[in-house]
């Protein structure tokens, strides 16, 4: 089991089966804007494995202007603004949980997606699979 929380603590997330073996770094423009950083760290988890406490504090933004073309429902804490989880509209079986909620000890990335958005001074981490865009889904 692994538990994480947002900045203010209003929302906590629990993975019943612990952290997955790897993460996915997303460099899409929407992740950049919503995180204030150059990428987000995502844990792809099954809906059934995830428990969210404090769900009444969650707010949702339906992000239609995505690099993938799919509408992404971005759920975040309405009090402190921490991104919590994203799901592709119409497919909430896989939840893209924000790894930074879990503090230190985030699993190593298996992939970096939307690498076409790398800044000139950025490069992929050693041994990590890089994808220009994302396989359509
Ligand atoms: Zn919060
Ligand atoms: Zn993204």
Model confidence at 69: pLDDT above 90 = no
**Centre of ligand 1 from the C-alpha of residue 35, in Å:** 14
Gap from CA of 75 to ligand 1 centroid (Å): 11
Of the chain, the percentage scoring pLDDT greater than 70 comes to 98
How far apart CA 64 and CA 70 sit, in angstroms, is 7
Do the Cβ atoms of 73 and 87 come closer than 8 Å? yes
Say whether pLDDT at 92 is over 50.
yes
Residues less than 5 Å from ion ligand 2, measured at CB? 26, 28, 31
Average pLDDT over residues 104-124: 94
Q: Are 40 and 51 in contact (CB under 8 A)?
A: no
Topology, domain 2-131: 2.170.150
Q: What is the pLDDT of residues 5-45, one digit of tens each?
A: 999 999 999 999 999 999 999 999 999 999 999 999 999 99
Task: Give me ligand 1 centre to Cα 38, in Å.
Answer: 21
State phi, psi for 33 to the nearest 5 degrees.
-65, -40
């Amino acid at each position: 089991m692994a538990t994480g929380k947002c900045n203010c603590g209003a929302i906590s997330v629990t993975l019943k089966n612990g952290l997955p073996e790897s993460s996915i770094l997303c460099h899409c423009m929407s992740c950049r804007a919503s995180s204030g950083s150059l990428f987000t760290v995502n844990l792809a988890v099954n809906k059934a494995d995830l428990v969210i406490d404090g769900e009444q504090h969650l707010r949702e933004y339906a992000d239609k202007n995505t690099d993938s073309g799919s509408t992404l429902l971005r759920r975040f804490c309405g009090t402190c603004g921490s991104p919590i989880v994203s799901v592709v509209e119409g497919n909430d079986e896989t939840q893209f949980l924000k790894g930074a909620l879990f503090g230190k000890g985030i699993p190593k990335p298996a992939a970096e997606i939307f690498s076409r958005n790398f800044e000139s001074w950025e490069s992929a981490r050693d041994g990590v699979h890089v994808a220009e865009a994302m396989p359509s889904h």
